[in-house]
Amino acid sequence: MSKKIIIFFGPPGSGKGTQAEMLAKKTDWKKISTGDLFRAEIANGTKLGKSVGKYLQAGKLVPDKLTLSLVEESLKQKTSGFIFDGFPRNKRQLNDLLAVFRKRLKKNDLAYALEVAVGDKEVKQRLSQRRSCACGAVYHLIYNPPINEGVCDICGGKLFTRNDDKPKVIAHRLKLYYNESKSILDYWQKQGRLIKIAGEQPIKKIHEEIMEKLKKLKLV
Ligand SMILES: [Zn+2]
């Protein structure tokens, strides 16, 4: 049987991580997110993990080569599919990944990119309404407000706007995302392997649209 590979894309605030998670649960495909890979290596105390930990502790980006070897390693897992979330981020990483695919995948394995599309206005609206607590809880003033204004339901802490969710920073993050993802999405588009999903609808509906489109392509 051929393996299926779905690579998720979407601007910050698109909820692509949530969707990747939901798809993984539904299909039992393995999710590959670089953040999870880093954490697992560090927790297992491997040689790679120690090296990754050094970069993260110093607040530095983990070099592509290191990330790629972790990704390649996780592609050895026995499963009928993989879901990528947060990798590749730019054209260079895409080329690296395609080289790994050529090495690790069989001819009839199928790789697709899936973009959860959300307009800039909606992204700004979603992120600017987000409030965080030091305990890790995240609220949305419209969709998921705290019971008492400005106070965390869980720990009673004072809520704040993360720097990342301030308008100026949001605009910068969006620009970065579109700059880096454009050439990647163009590549998949040219291959006829880009699935576009309308991200401006409720989480459940987005998931349904993803399942429908994957069914049509006989991927699930
Ligand atoms: Zn809290």
Task: State the distance from the centre of ligand 1 to the C-alpha of 138, rounded, in angstroms.
Answer: 8
Q: Does any domain span residue 56?
A: no
Task: State the distance from the centre of ligand 1 to the C-alpha of 127, rounded, in angstroms.
Answer: 18
Residue 191 pLDDT class (50, 70, 90 cuts): very high
Q: What is the mean pLDDT of residues 147-170?
A: 95
Strand partners, 111: 5
Q: Does any domain span residue 50?
A: no
Task: State the distance from the centre of ligand 1 to the C-alpha of 7, rounded, in angstroms.
Answer: 33
What phi and psi values does residue 199 have, to the nearest 5 degrees? -90, -5
Catalytic hit among 3, 30, 39, 173:
173
Q: Does any domain span residue 38?
A: no
Nearest to 131 by CA among 101, 153, 109, 116: 153
114-123 pLDDT, tens digit per residue, is 999 999 999 9
Q: What is the mean pLDDT of residues 48-59?
A: 90
Across 122-156, b (16+ Cβ under 10 Å) vs e yields ebbebbebbbbbeeebebeeeeeebeeeeebeeee
Note the pTM of the prediction, 2 decimals. 0.88
CATH number at residue 156: 3.40.50.300
Whether the predicted pLDDT of 29 surpasses 90: yes
Q: What is the mean pLDDT of residues 5-9?
A: 98
Looking at the structure of the chain, the number of domains it has is 1
More confident site: 143 or 16:
16
Q: Does any domain span residue 45?
A: no
Which residues hold their Cβ within 5 A of ligand 1, which is an ion?
Answer: 133, 135, 137, 152, 154-155, 157
Q: Does any domain span residue 192?
A: yes
Catalytic hit among 4, 31, 89, 126:
89
39 given a catalytic annotation: no
Confidence at residue 61, expressed as pLDDT on a 0 to 100 scale: 86
Q: Does any domain span residue 161?
A: yes
Q: Does any domain span residue 65?
A: no
Tell how strand 194-198 and strand 30-33 pair up: unpaired
Task: State the distance from the centre of ligand 1 to the C-alpha of 159, rounded, in angstroms.
Answer: 8
Average pLDDT over all residues of the chain: 94
Catalytic hit among 162, 175, 182, 216:
162
Q: Interhelix angle for 34-44 vs 64-74, to 10°? A: 80
Confidence at residue 60, expressed as pLDDT on a 0 to 100 scale: 85
What percentage of the chain has pLDDT greater than the value 90?
Answer: 89
What percentage of the chain has pLDDT greater than the value 70?
Answer: 100
Contacts of 91 (CB under 8 A, 6+ apart): 180, 183, 184, 187
Task: State the distance from the centre of ligand 1 to the C-alpha of 182, rounded, in angstroms.
Answer: 37
Confidence at residue 57, expressed as pLDDT on a 0 to 100 scale: 87
Whether the predicted pLDDT of 35 surpasses 90: no
Residue 75 pLDDT class (50, 70, 90 cuts): very high
89 given a catalytic annotation: yes
Q: What range defines the domain where residue 8 resides? A: 4-29+79-216
Q: Does any domain span residue 153?
A: yes
